[in-house]
Amino acid sequence: MHLYLYADDESIEVLGAQRPKALLIGSDFGYGNFGDVLQHKGAISRVKAASGLAAVSILTLDAISRYVDTGALRKDYGADALAFVSEMPIASETAAQLQLREVAVLRNVSYIQLYGGGFLNEMWGDFVLGVAEYFLERLPGAAYVISGQQIAGAYASRVRDHVARFKPQMLGVRDRNSAGLMADQGMRADFSFDDAVEPLLELHHKLGLQAGEGAFVHLNTSGYTGNDGAMDEMVAHLRLVADRVGSEKPTLLHAFQDAREEVVDSIETVKRLESGFPFTDVETVMLVAAIMESGHPGNMRVLTGRFGYSSSYHVTLWLQLAGIPCWLRGSNEYYRQKRAALGIEGRFEDFLEQMHCPDHRENLHERSQWVARLEHILGRAELMENRIAWERSNRATPERTFNFKGEPRMEERLNQAWQAAEGNRQENERLRALLEGDTDGTGAQDPVRQSRHEGGLDVLFARFEKAVMASAKLEIELLHSAEKIGELEQGLARERALAEALKSRLEETELRMQACNRQLTEVGTDARYYREQYLSMQSGLQQAAVCAEQLRQITSSRSWRITRPLRVANRFLATRRFDPAGEVGVYAMLRIVAEKLPIKARWRSAAGRTLRRFRRR
């Protein structure tokens, strides 16, 4: 992969300056996804709070919207510089219209972070890792950190190869399953929780999120969610939400700011559901606008709800961190892994009965430990004298056509195809007129030339016209086929990922069964040992009981009582004590006897003083 970089004037000045820099690459390439933007902003904030590095964020040229100013976008993110990557160059005039220029040099990158998200899978992993590896290969010496990742089972070996090659100082994952997958690959991954945690906690207070009346609803039926094949189930769930909230108005959360037709978030899904959406009135919140400065979140009302129904991992986590139970849909393996990470199990109907909200305190504690280690690396990042230079001279790569994000629309592409077909038809008619109007130079038609062309001309033009129309039809079919192929490829990727995940789970289950068998064997051995010990102790207790009974019979017998004075005398002769404990001597015995004699107290005291003189010391 070769990349070209474009940036606004202020960013270009930062990129070429001597100041050491932190390069941030991750889930957010500018497409306006709620969770991705939060993770991106969190990574920028961490760099600026824990170091003196200039924060440089990498986006893609394909994500530039018609309605976004690139310079203002940099300020909204809070980055020192934004750089837009492209695998092919664009014309300098096009770049100027976007208020961008081609970057000539990037120098002194001391730190590179692959911040979090759910992109390490077959759908997006190759592109993101390709961008990261492009910079890692060309910027030697930079400290490298991977954080907050969710790794698909089928993609774990690719991540393993990347880690083995570039050796990050920290490898963090946001869920325990991803840590297990890396352990299976012979790699240690630490639990870092999610990179959006801190921004989500701030947003909780910023928007006044709290438990109360109503419910929160987020919908996403884009192809990668798998929900586009579960619309009937979604309608049934929404009716349950409507029954639960009654006349209370729900809050519809829209989590994308993306014009692409393949992105079908809450508002687009409501349109797709038609009468299947059971609410007549909702409070709509544009989440991406709310977290960017242009959203003016201070003017928003307090958001309240008793529970949430979501198709977004980060919407669900946001509500959970605020103490609001939220159920996350999981129509494929990608989202089932997200559900497990957030402690969500079972059916939506069961969730409505229990309203369980997971406790993330332990996760937050581990997150704080991870952040402390990350800030330590940032704090000691040293100046690295490295650079990447891009040469414009003698460029052989053709310049690409630039389109704003989400353009051209499908309708425009079809119109272009029909216009091309109509142009071919008109050109056909023009050529026919030229050939039929051929003359001998005197203004009269040449009968010989006319007879030469007359036989095959109609056939030739008929074939040409048929070919042009077939070409136009084929172009339209290709457009539809390309869309279907894209959908099939996404479906195939999902099924392949599911198959790999099921295979991984099967292997993990077999290993667990083997471990359980070993444990059962050990438990059986321990059980036999403890049974033998129990039987032995029981036999000993029975013998002790027999001996105790025999002793009781002896001590309660008449002969034992009759011989007691003799035993006391023998004991006194042997030990100078009258009792078995050795505490009663002559003085103590006389004292006991004196206390029982019927004499006056003063006589008893006088006798005691006399006897005390002879007491053994």
> Whole-angstrom Cα distance, residue 455 to residue 434?
16
pLDDT of residue 450: 53
One-letter amino acid at 437 equals G
pLDDT band at 485 (very low <50, low <70, confident <90, very high): low
Residue 4 has pLDDT above 80, yes or no: yes
pLDDT of residue 53: 96
pLDDT of residue 615: 61
Residue 296 has pLDDT above 70, yes or no: no
103: its two tokens: 């970057």
**Could you write out the three-class secondary structure of 586-616?**
HHHHHHHHHHHCCCCHHHHHHHHHHHHCCCC
| 8 Å CB contact between 95 and 101 | yes
How many DSSP H helices and E strands does the chain contain?
21, 19
412 contact partners, CB below 8 Å, separation of at least 6: none
> Whole-angstrom Cα distance, residue 37 to residue 604?
100
| 8 Å CB contact between 118 and 150 | yes
Buried residues in 385-411 as b, exposed as e (16+ CB within 10 A): eeebeeeeeeeeeeebebeebbeeeee
pLDDT of residue 598: 76
> Whole-angstrom Cα distance, residue 425 to residue 520?
80
Residue 448 has pLDDT above 90, yes or no: no
> Whole-angstrom Cα distance, residue 454 to residue 461?
11
> pLDDT exceeding 90 applies to what percent of the chain?
58
First to last CA, the chain: 102
> Whole-angstrom Cα distance, residue 407 to residue 613?
119
How many Cβ atoms sit within 10 Å of the Cβ of residue 535?
10
| 8 Å CB contact between 20 and 384 | yes
pLDDT of residue 578: 73
pLDDT band at 497 (very low <50, low <70, confident <90, very high): low
Residue 412 has pLDDT above 50, yes or no: yes
Residue 299 has pLDDT above 90, yes or no: no
Residue 235 has pLDDT above 70, yes or no: yes
DSSP state for residue 153 in the 8-state scheme? G
pLDDT of residue 445: 52
pLDDT of residue 482: 60
Half-sphere exposure of 218 (CA within 13 A, CB side): 27
CA 124 to chain CA mean position, Å: 14
pLDDT band at 446 (very low <50, low <70, confident <90, very high): low
pLDDT in tens, 14-24: 999 999 999 99
> Whole-angstrom Cα distance, residue 552 to residue 560?
11
Least confident of 25-39, 344-358, 384-398, 431-445: 431-445
One-letter amino acid at 119 equals F
pLDDT in tens, 192-224: 999 999 999 999 888 889 999 999 999 999 999
One-letter amino acid at 465 equals E
Q: Which 3 state secondary structure label does DSSP give 391?
A: coil
Least confident of 7-11, 328-332, 408-412, 487-491: 487-491
Helix (H) or strand (E) holding 211: strand 210-211
pLDDT of residue 367: 97
pLDDT in tens, 247-280: 899 999 999 999 999 999 999 999 999 999 999 9
| 8 Å CB contact between 253 and 315 | yes
> Whole-angstrom Cα distance, residue 430 to residue 437?
11
DSSP state for residue 514 in the 8-state scheme? H
pLDDT of residue 465: 65
Judge: domain 4-197+363-389, CATH 3.30.70: no
As to burial, measured by CB atoms within 10 angstroms (0-12 exposed, 13-18 middle, 19+ buried), residue 521 is exposed
Of 3.40.1350, 3.30.70, 3.40.50, 3.20.20, the CATH number of 199-357 is 3.40.50
pLDDT in tens, 554-613: 888 888 788 878 877 887 787 777 777 777 777 777 777 777 777 777 777 777 777 666
> Whole-angstrom Cα distance, residue 246 to residue 215?
10
Q: Which residue has the higher pLDDT, 388 or 503?
A: 388
Please give the model's pTM, rounded to 2 decimal places.
Answer: 0.69
> Whole-angstrom Cα distance, residue 156 to residue 175?
14
From residue 351, give the alpha-carbon distance in Å to each of 45, 307, 329, 346, 355: 36, 10, 12, 7, 5
pLDDT of residue 409: 79
Strand partners, 149: 117, 173
